[in-house]
């Protein structure tokens, strides 16, 4: 079963929302601790993306998955989705925790507006409706991504005191690619994305990713990363 779609001419076609400053891109932490989202890995610094940026962005994401040197998370999102916006500070904090030795020293071009500081992570919902459609995006509970795997115990995440013990992918930098479903519709269709945000967390090369539909708080997001990192390690 193919886990990553092939590169194809469709990734170079112009689609609605692909002009100007795209919503899609890799979330990158700069040397001053701020974040920027880079849509076109090949664009010169200070310049916006050019035609074919979707192909290059997807090439960067899929190459990172295949190489397995960093853990990769793909976040399928849409503009105007409030819970997608709330997911941003969660994965930024995770990137920061795991990038002490891998901070970018160059000032990459800012291709997405930072906006106001997002609100603190909401409490995880214990009700129904973990998936969100359109802009109606309720928070997810932990069962969203554990439904097809063993339920994590409370001992799975022990906080910062356990961080020094992390090995393998959990000790590697975290790379997060935000993929707007309107800008990369074929990628979203390949993974049957119907809810926003939808997160794909990748483990070792060749292992299937774990999927979570709906917003995840810091604890649930960390468990998703650990489960996916462990999924291909045996």
59 vs 135, which has greater pLDDT? 59
Instruction: Kindly report, residue by residue over 87-121, the tens digit of the pLDDT.
Output: 999 999 999 999 864 444 343 333 333 333 333 22
Confidence of residue 189 (pLDDT cuts 50, 70, 90): very high
Confidence of residue 224 (pLDDT cuts 50, 70, 90): very high
**Across the chain, which distance is largest between two alpha carbons, in Å?**
48
Residue 223 · residue 214 · CB < 8 Å: no
- Given a cut of 80, whether residue 159 has pLDDT beyond it is no
Instruction: Identify any residues that bridge with 124 across adjacent strands, giving them in sequence order.
Output: none
Q: Which residues contact 170 (CB under 8 A, 6 or more apart)?
A: 71, 225, 226, 229
Residue 156 · residue 226 · CB < 8 Å: yes
Q: What is the pTM of this model?
A: 0.72
- What average pLDDT is seen over the chain? 74
Which range scores top for mean pLDDT: 3-17, 77-91, 100-114, 162-176? 77-91
pLDDT value of residue 92: 97
Helix (H) or strand (E) holding 36: strand 35-38
What secondary structure letter does DSSP report for 191? T
pLDDT value of residue 152: 32
What is the number of other CB atoms lying within 10 angstroms of the CB of residue 138?
17
- Given a cut of 70, whether residue 223 has pLDDT beyond it is yes
Question: Whole-angstrom Cα distance, residue 122 to residue 215?
Answer: 9
Confidence of residue 14 (pLDDT cuts 50, 70, 90): low
CA-nearest of 101, 233, 74, 221 to 173 is: 101
Lowest pLDDT segment from 28-32, 88-92, 125-129, 167-171: 125-129
pLDDT value of residue 5: 74
Lowest pLDDT segment from 29-33, 77-81, 148-152, 194-198: 148-152
In degrees, rounded to 5, the angle at the alpha carbon of residue 141 between the alpha carbons of residues 207 and 219 is 70
Q: Which residues contact 115 (CB under 8 A, 6 or more apart)?
A: none
Report the share of the chain in percent with pLDDT over 90: 54
pLDDT value of residue 121: 25
Lowest pLDDT segment from 159-163, 167-171, 222-226, 229-233: 159-163
């Amino acid at each position: 079963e193919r886990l990553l779609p092939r590169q194809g001419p469709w990734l170079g076609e112009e689609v609605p929302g692909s002009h100007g400053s795209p919503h899609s891109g890799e979330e990158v932490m700069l040397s001053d601790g701020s974040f920027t989202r880079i849509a076109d890995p090949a664009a010169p610094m200070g310049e916006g993306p050019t035609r074919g940026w979707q192909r290059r962005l997807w090439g960067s994401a899929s190459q990172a998955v295949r190489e397995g040197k960093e853990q990769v998370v793909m976040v399928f999102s849409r503009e105007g989705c409030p819970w997608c916006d709330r997911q941003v500070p969660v994965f930024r904090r995770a990137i920061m925790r795991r990038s002490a030795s891998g901070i970018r020293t160059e000032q990459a071009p800012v291709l997405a507006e930072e906006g106001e500081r997002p609100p603190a992570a909401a409490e995880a919902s214990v009700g129904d409706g973990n998936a969100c459609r359109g802009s109606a995006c309720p928070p997810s509970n932990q069962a969203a991504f554990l439904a097809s795997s063993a339920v994590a115990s409370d001992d799975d995440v022990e906080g910062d005191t356990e961080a020094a013990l992390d090995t393998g992918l959990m000790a590697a930098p975290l790379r997060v690619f935000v993929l707007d479903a309107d800008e990369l519709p074929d990628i979203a269709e390949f993974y049957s994305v119907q809810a926003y945000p939808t997160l794909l967390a990748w483990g070792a090369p060749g292992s299937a990713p774990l999927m979570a539909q709906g917003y995840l708080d810091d604890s649930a997001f960390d468990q998703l990363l650990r489960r996916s990192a462990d999924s291909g390690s045996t």
